[in-house]
Structure 1
Amino acid sequence: MNPVMAWHEEHAYFARLLQVLQEEVDTLYTGQTPNYELLLDIVSYLREYSDQVHHPREDEAFKRLARRSPELRPILVRLHQEHRVIAQSGDRLRELVEEAVSDAVLPRADIEAAASTYIVYYRNHIATEEKEVLPVAARSLTEDDWLAAKEAAPAKADPLVGGDAGDRFRHLRRRIAGETPPHHRAAPATSA
């Protein structure tokens, strides 16, 4: 597959995951309890695949693109920095969701704020790459550049797209495919 198309398809998939994450977090506003296991799967997937495979490959492509298209350097530097912000905010969100899964008592507003930060950063990040970077990368990067970008991260199958993750992400795959409806329950009266 064309590397630009592959990059675009991964972005579309990540955007769908962020939409499901947003839908689950929105239940907090209505007094329901989101499916915390699903939230944890989404954040874990994005941390384990996107941050460990997709973003390192992008960083290598950004480095090469900055040499070929110096006018993009400020945007590319910011996007590289955003990879770290996304990773840190993802870690914080995962910590909070893990606490919720283990029935810890914590303010719902903490989860809402952490999720909102993560979602907003990630969506804006993807939009900038799609609008500002991918068109130039398609014109400027060579086969050698794309090969170096591919080799910048370990060869790891995407666990949601034919990867070997066993049953871990089965529910998440079904939810993204629209096969299963959201699962919410009324929040306990003692929720913060």
Structure 2
Amino acid sequence: MTLIEQLHQDHINLSRLLEVLELKIQRLKAGDAPNFQLLAELVEYIGHYADQFHHPREDQMYHYFAERDAALDQQLQICEAEHADLKLLSREITETVDAVMHDAVIPMSEFIERLENFVRRERSHLDFEESIIFPAIHAVAKAQDWPRLEQQLPQPEDPLFGEKQGEQYRELYKAMLQDVIAAP
């Protein structure tokens, strides 16, 4: 599997988690009691995995393909700026959920709005990469680029979707399966 295929699979996995988060938001809107621990795990995983593993690999790939096409370079700059913005946003939403878990008073409507904004921005970014960035890279890439690039990049083990699940995400994985199965 090439790097871009691995990154595409990450996007699929992150999209699944965003779907679970959207289901949780719908339940919050319906007045269900929130499982703040699960919300915390969801936003922490999405932000942590993207910030620590996914985006750095993408950024290295983007640098590798830089200066091959002027239009691609412009899109890569936008994408890298989005990575920085998403890192701040994920930190903010994680802090918001943490604050609520530690008895901070935030109106539920504001809390839901922040969660929805997080999901919207994450989805928009994934769509941008899938529809603009990845096809543009495919257009300029040569077959020999992928092995060279993959040698330069670490191969992180995904603690949720990888072969070995991290202990901290086992409950999140179970909840994700339950929500997907129980979804109408």
- What TM-score comes out, normalization by structure 1 length? 0.82
Contact 1:40 1:98 in 2 (8 A): yes
Mapped partners of 1:47, 1:181: distance in 2? 24
Q: How does 1:145-164 map to 2 (within 5 A)?
A: 145-148=149-152, 150-151=153-154, 155-160=155-160, 161-163=162-164
- Show CA shifts across 1:81-118 (max 9, x none): 11111111111111111122233322112322221221
Contact 2:11 2:126 in 1 (8 A): yes
**Aligned position for 1:188:** none
More deviation in 66-75 or 139-148? 139-148
Q: How does 1:104-119 map to 2 (within 5 A)?
A: 104-119=104-119
Shift of 1:18: 0.8
Question: Structure 1 residues 180 and 77 mapped into 2: Cα distance closer, same or farther (>3 Å)?
Answer: closer
Residue ranges of structure 1 left out of the alignment (5+ in a row): 183-192
**Aligned position for 1:67:** 67
Q: 4+ runs of 1 displaced by more than 6 Å?
A: 179-182
Contact 1:44 1:94 in 2 (8 A): yes
Q: How does 1:171-190 map to 2 (within 5 A)?
A: 171-178=171-178
Mapped partners of 2:179, 2:81: distance in 1? 36
Q: How does 1:96-135 map to 2 (within 5 A)?
A: 96-135=96-135
**Aligned position for 2:18:** 18
Q: Which amino acid aligns with 2:15?
A: A
**Aligned position for 2:81:** 81
Contact 1:42 1:172 in 2 (8 A): yes
Contact 2:72 2:137 in 1 (8 A): no
Shift of 1:136: 2.7
- Show CA shifts across 1:10-49 (max 9, x none): 1000011111111112222222222211111111112222
- Show CA shifts across 1:105-161 (max 9, x none): 22112322221221111101101111112123234331323433x24xxx5321102
Mapped partners of 1:35, 1:13: distance in 2? 21
Looking at secondary structure, tell me which structure has more helix per residue. 2
1:58 paired to 2:27: no
Percent identity, aligned pairs only, is 27
Mapped partners of 2:85, 2:128: distance in 1? 15
The root-mean-square deviation of aligned C-alpha atoms, in Å, is: 2.1
**Aligned position for 2:93:** 93
Partner of 1:106, secondary structure, is coil
Between the two proteins, the alignment pairs up a number of residues equal to 177
Question: Structure 1 residues 181 and 105 mapped into 2: Cα distance closer, same or farther (>3 Å)?
Answer: farther
Mapped partners of 2:28, 2:177: distance in 1? 23
